[in-house]
């Protein structure tokens, strides 16, 4: 009977979930076309935080009451976990509101990174409750108490699991649309909570039908799931605060847009600066022919900057690097060096190549894109210089190494 109710509820939940999310967003936000606008992001964040806070408070009250009635440590632990989630939703709400503060003298790029601090606080809160739940579960294993389990209490816990599953979809949908790390973190926590509540329901069934004292063990399992969610949230948030790897998808979109301009012969030194969700800036060097008309090529660069800023809501600064094209000797050496670099492990790329001939030596000046996993730069530099001298003993390489944050074909 319980399985039939669960299957029916899941099916109804699946069909109605998308419509419910869209309905709430339409009612709460009139202009949902531009997800990057900060006022719209704040509205989404407020919607998600308030919804999570209300639902978690309801679930916490229901489960803690059930835990007292049944004497189940696992049920009570699950309720306390939901109470911590309500606190996390409050932190998320505060961080979203504080992040909207305009820039000032001390914070010229705004206060967007407060959202990362909010996600960090949520992760710490989850970790603290996870440790407490672990201690409670261990005590229950050592000193198991008498439990009173009924089909009604199991049905209410199943309902709680389904609500948490819906919250996972809700948080993830809004969090990804607005690039809100706090809501995405809450979504991860809600998914682990749904699994944890399912484990509690399973333990209640085992106790009801077989009488096995598994309550404390399930409490420990719930605590482990909570700690796992805390670790994932803290890891991702700390990476962003420390300046982790830039958004690959965003970088590829920018590079593809620049490929539309035939005047741009190549790009390099691409950097994304993260000042909080929806507050990124970018800088990149664009190679252009040294024979180009400076006014005309400047107009092309300006047009590219405006297009990227308009389409992606991302300010970008494009620096022009003039390169000599059409010189046969220079092109020949460049092709030879590119072949050498592509055959190395890992394969490398170069840009800004110049050839400066002299009486006794020929300087080859260029930049090399170096993957972040390569640590021994001196070794790589020596290998390139040795390979160049095999082509011509007069070749002297003057190499500048850049970190390759994005892989591209430009």
- What's 304's domain CATH number? 3.30.70.1350
pLDDT above 70: percentage of residues in the chain = 75
Residue with tokens 């333990």: 203
* pLDDT tens sequence across 182-201: 677 778 778 877 877 777 77
3-state helix, strand, coil in the chain (%, to 5): 65, 15, 25
Q: Is the pLDDT reported for residue 29 higher than 50?
A: no
As a dihedral over the C-alpha atoms of residue 202, residue 208, residue 213, residue 218, rounded to 10 degrees, the angle is: 20
d(CA 230, CA 127): 5
| pLDDT (average), residues 239-258 | 76
CB-CB contact of 281 with 313 (8 Å): no
Residue 273 lies in a domain: yes
Most confident of 61-70, 385-394, 398-407: 385-394
Q: Do residue 255 and residue 151 come from a single domain?
A: no
Residue 350 DSSP one-character state: E
Q: Do residue 192 and residue 237 come from a single domain?
A: yes
Strand partners, 274: 280
Residue 409 lies in a domain: no
Most confident of 73-77, 223-227, 259-263: 259-263
Residue with tokens 């660069």: 301
CB-CB contact of 321 with 352 (8 Å): yes
Q: Looking at residue 384, what is its pLDDT?
A: 92
Look at residue 91 and give its three-state secondary structure: helix
pLDDT above 90: percentage of residues in the chain = 5
Q: Do residue 357 and residue 399 come from a single domain?
A: yes
Residue 359 lies in a domain: yes
Domain count, the chain: 3
Band of pLDDT at residue 13, cut at 50, 70 and 90: very low
Segments forming the whole domain that contains residue 290: 248-323
Q: Looking at residue 109, what is its pLDDT?
A: 61
Look at residue 160 and give its three-state secondary structure: helix
What tokens appear for 397 in the block? 């390489």
Q: Do residue 299 and residue 334 come from a single domain?
A: no
Q: Do residue 22 and residue 115 come from a single domain?
A: yes
d(CA 148, CA 90): 34
Q: Do residue 196 and residue 332 come from a single domain?
A: no
The pairing of beta strand 280-289 with beta strand 266-274: antiparallel
Look at residue 351 and give its three-state secondary structure: strand
Helices (H) and strands (E) in the chain, counts: 11, 6
End-of-domain residue from the set 242, 258, 289: 242
Q: Do residue 332 and residue 315 come from a single domain?
A: no
Q: Do residue 317 and residue 363 come from a single domain?
A: no
Comparison of pLDDT for 89 and 7, the residue scoring more: 89
Residue with tokens 């305009």: 102
| pLDDT (average), residues 265-283 | 75
Q: Is the pLDDT reported for residue 7 higher than 50?
A: no
* pLDDT tens sequence across 39-59: 666 677 777 778 888 888 898
Residue 389 lies in a domain: yes
Band of pLDDT at residue 386, cut at 50, 70 and 90: very high
Residue 102 lies in a domain: yes
Q: Write down the mean pLDDT value for the chain.
A: 76
The CA–CA distances, whole Å, from 381 to 149, 364, 365 equal 70, 13, 13
**Does the model's pTM come out above 0.85?**
no
Residue 398: name the closest of 375, 358, 376, 368 by CA: 368
End-of-domain residue from the set 303, 323, 343: 323
* pLDDT tens sequence across 354-379: 887 777 888 888 888 888 778 888 88
Q: Is the pLDDT reported for residue 211 higher than 80?
A: no
Q: Do residue 277 and residue 355 come from a single domain?
A: no
Give the distance from CA 375 to its chain's centroid: 25
């Amino acid at each position: 009977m319980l399985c039939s109710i669960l299957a029916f509820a899941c099916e109804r939940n699946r069909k109605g979930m998308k419509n419910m999310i869209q309905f709430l967003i339409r009612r709460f936000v009139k202009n949902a076309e531009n997800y990057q606008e900060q006022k719209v992001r704040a509205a989404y964040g407020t919607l998600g935080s308030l919804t999570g806070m209300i639902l978690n408070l309801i679930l916490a009250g229901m489960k803690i009451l059930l835990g007292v009635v049944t004497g189940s440590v696992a049920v009570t632990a699950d309720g306390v976990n939901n109470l911590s989630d309500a606190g996390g939703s409050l932190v998320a709400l505060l961080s979203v509101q504080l992040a909207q503060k305009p820039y000032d003298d001390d914070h010229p790029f705004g206060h967007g990174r407060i959202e990362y601090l909010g996600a960090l606080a949520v992760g710490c809160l989850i970790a603290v409750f996870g440790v407490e739940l672990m201690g409670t579960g261990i005590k229950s294993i050592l000193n198991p108490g008498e439990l009173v389990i009924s089909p009604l209490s199991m049905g209410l816990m199943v309902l709680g699991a389904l609500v948490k599953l819906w919250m996972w979809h809700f948080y993830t949908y809004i969090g990804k649309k607005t690039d809100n790390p706090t809501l995405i973190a809450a979504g991860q926590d809600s998914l682990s909570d749904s699994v944890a509540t399912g484990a509690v329901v399973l333990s209640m069934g085992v106790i009801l039908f077989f009488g096995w004292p598994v309550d404390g063990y399930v409490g420990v399992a719930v605590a482990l799931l909570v700690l796992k969610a805390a670790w994932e949230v803290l890891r991702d948030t700390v990476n962003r605060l420390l300046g982790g790897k830039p958004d690959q998808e965003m970088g590829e979109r920018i590079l593809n847009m620049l490929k539309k301009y035939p005047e741009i012969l190549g790009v390099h030194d691409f950097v994304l600066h993260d000042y909080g969700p929806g507050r990124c800036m970018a800088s990149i060097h664009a190679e252009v022919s040294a024979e180009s008309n400076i006014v005309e090529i400047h107009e092309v660069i300006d047009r590219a900057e405006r297009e990227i800023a308009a389409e992606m809501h991302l300010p970008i600064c494009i620096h022009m690097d003039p390169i000599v094209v059409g010189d046969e000797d220079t092109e020949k050496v460049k092709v030879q060096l590119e072949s050498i670099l592509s055959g190395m492990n890992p394969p490398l790329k170069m840009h800004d190549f110049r050839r400066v001939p002299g009486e006794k030596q020929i300087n080859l000046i260029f930049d090399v894109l170096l993957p972040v996993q390569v640590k021994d730069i001196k070794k790589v530099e020596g290998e390139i210089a040795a390979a160049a001298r095999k082509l011509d003993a007069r070749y002297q390489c003057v190499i500048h190494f850049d970190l390759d944050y994005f892989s591209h074909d430009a």
